[in-house]
Amino acid sequence: MTTTGELRDGLGLADDLRHRPVAGERTRDSLFWELIMPEEELGVQVYLYLTGSGKAGYNVCVWGPDARPLALHLHQGRVSDDADLDNFSFDGLTLAQPELRQSCLLTYDRDDVRIEFAFSGIHDAFSYHRNPDGLPPWFAVNRIEQTGRVHGGLHIGSRHIGWDRMGHRDHSWGIRDWGVPQHWKWFVAYTESGRALNGWIWIAQGEWGFAGYVVRDGVTFPVRHIDQHADYDDQMRQRRLRATLTDISGARTEVQFDVFGVVELPTHDRLQTVIREGACRAVIDGEEGAGQFETHWQGSYLDYLSARDA
């Protein structure tokens, strides 16, 4: 597995573990795992956070075309000071990382939902600091993204789906200032042959920025620029995204996402931030696959757009 380019990623050996506060500073780790199944019209994601002061929480979501997700489990609590992410357990969720920045085993078992997500990366964990636009400090100190093979499966009620397919994970750390970004689009797509890409388009302080990668022939290329157009319904829920990713080699990769299910995640910040996740059929340079397309909005702006369209 190779990453091309001369940009430094700022990653340390222990950056897939918990980040401790230094000199009284606040810190927060956010971890995310996802897998999209177009043939089942289902998406699955798990999001976990831990703060330096011991607060922790997660959301576990299984959703499809229906207005209500099949499952949306939210939980908050506390973890001990010595808890770390190589051998972690928190109210039905466990995480082991036998090979940091390469493999992990996430399990979840609670309220008629069981998930086993045994992940092995198909490329080295990718830091957004490798992109020419870097990682803005309002978002995180650093963030890694990684596409990989997932074994295991999902049990929800009486339904069981086994997994031997592609999925994705990420991990960011630092403190996020939700007041700075005006909008973003984040997406990931993958095919069973091993094609994969990740993109992030952000607008903040009147400026655009781009991040992500393209995996091509076993080599990971950082993204330089993303041209895109998205379609939405009358409530501004994402329906389709067409994008062209230009990487640092100058090569262009075409991707299209067609959304079959959207779920809105609860947020509680003063800006009424709205995060919507789209489970998608995806096509990378003509090859069919799966993917996820996330949008970020500030609540008042989203309310204005939705009311105007109505």
For residue 232, what is the domain's CATH number?
A: 2.40.370.10
What's the domain count of the chain? 1
Q: Which residues contact 53 (CB under 8 A, 6 or more apart)?
A: 21, 26
For the chain, give the longest Cα–Cα distance: 52
Q: What is the pLDDT of residue 161?
A: 98
Q: Which residues contact 310 (CB under 8 A, 6 or more apart)?
A: 234
- 273 within 8 A of 299, measured Cβ to Cβ: yes
Q: What is the pLDDT of residue 24?
A: 76
- 60 within 8 A of 71, measured Cβ to Cβ: yes
Q: What are phi and psi of 308, to 5 degrees?
A: -65, -45
Question: pLDDT 10s per residue in the chain (310 long)?
Answer: 555 544 568 888 799 999 998 877 899 999 999 999 999 999 999 999 999 999 999 999 999 999 999 999 999 999 999 999 999 999 999 999 999 999 999 999 999 999 999 999 999 999 999 999 999 999 999 999 999 999 999 999 999 999 999 999 999 999 999 999 999 999 999 999 999 999 999 999 999 999 999 999 999 999 999 999 999 999 999 999 999 999 999 999 999 999 999 999 877 777 789 999 999 999 999 999 999 999 999 999 998 998 986 6
Q: What is the pLDDT of residue 74?
A: 95
C-alpha to C-alpha distances, 202 to 90, 155, 208, nearest whole angstrom: 32, 35, 6
- Least Cα distance to 262 among 86, 45, 96, 76 occurs for 45
Q: For the CA atoms of 297, 298, 299, 305, what is the dihedral angle to 10 degrees?
A: -60
- 52 within 8 A of 21, measured Cβ to Cβ: yes
Residue whose pair of structure tokens reads 């157009």 in the numeric block: 229
Q: What is the pLDDT of residue 293?
A: 98
Question: What does DSSP assign to residue 154?
Answer: E
For residue 269, the SS3 value is coil
Q: Which residues contact 48 (CB under 8 A, 6 or more apart)?
A: 30, 31, 32, 56, 57, 58, 90, 93, 95
C-alpha to C-alpha distances, 293 to 196, 200, 205, 209, 241, nearest whole angstrom: 14, 10, 23, 17, 8
Q: Chain centroid to CA 24: how far?
A: 29
Residue 38's Cβ-side half-sphere holds a number of Cα atoms within 13 Å equal to 18
pTM equals 0.95
Range of the domain at 57: 2-309
